[in-house]
A and B are shown apart, each in its own frame.
Chain A
């Protein structure tokens, strides 16, 4: 059974870089596609970006200039970096598998990790 787990600092200072890792167990990261999604407190879901098993990426236009998603196949992990963060980046960050070839829904999801941007 595929499982995902986010990890990373829960507190980031304004203007710094938010870095999160998603560890995949129960399957190979090289077999699927992966996404990051976030949810500000009390608000809805916002898709951040996607990375394919081959390493190609696609990002939300609103975040594209600040976001990088990468794969580490040796560790079965993928990562998210968001630069120049502000309070508006405070959210629960989820990683999720996205199927490919017309099966691009998100399933499963990690449990999520809260990142607060504050000095």
Chain B
């Protein structure tokens, strides 16, 4: 099983600032990495797939990068609606696995 490790667990950022979230895989997943956003009481929403492709309707301030075992999600200028939980997920191998999540909170 591929273990996905996200850091930090919590990120405190002021509105308008940049947020950088990291995700590391225990073995290479190529570019088969997705990012999801989850707000309190809601289902996760797909943000990024293929490590760097924004899903339909996702604002340009969200960007993903990386390949192999190291991945990054960047939110260029945090808006109030971006304060949420973020999960990475690999879909290169069975079982599908998620990181434990990074909470982006208001500083």
Contact = CB atoms under 8 A, between A and B. Distances in A.
Interface of B: 1, 32, 34, 36, 42-46, 49, 55, 87, 89, 91, 94-101
Contact of A109 (B43, B97, B100): B43
A97 B101 CA distance: 21
Contacts, number: 54
Nearest to A92: B43
- Chain A contact residues (Cβ within 8 angstroms of B): what range? 20 to 34
B95 A107 contact: no
B91 A45 contact: no
A111 B87 contact: no
6 contacts: A104-B96, A105-B89, A106-B34, A109-B43, A110-B43, A111-B42
B98 A45 contact: yes
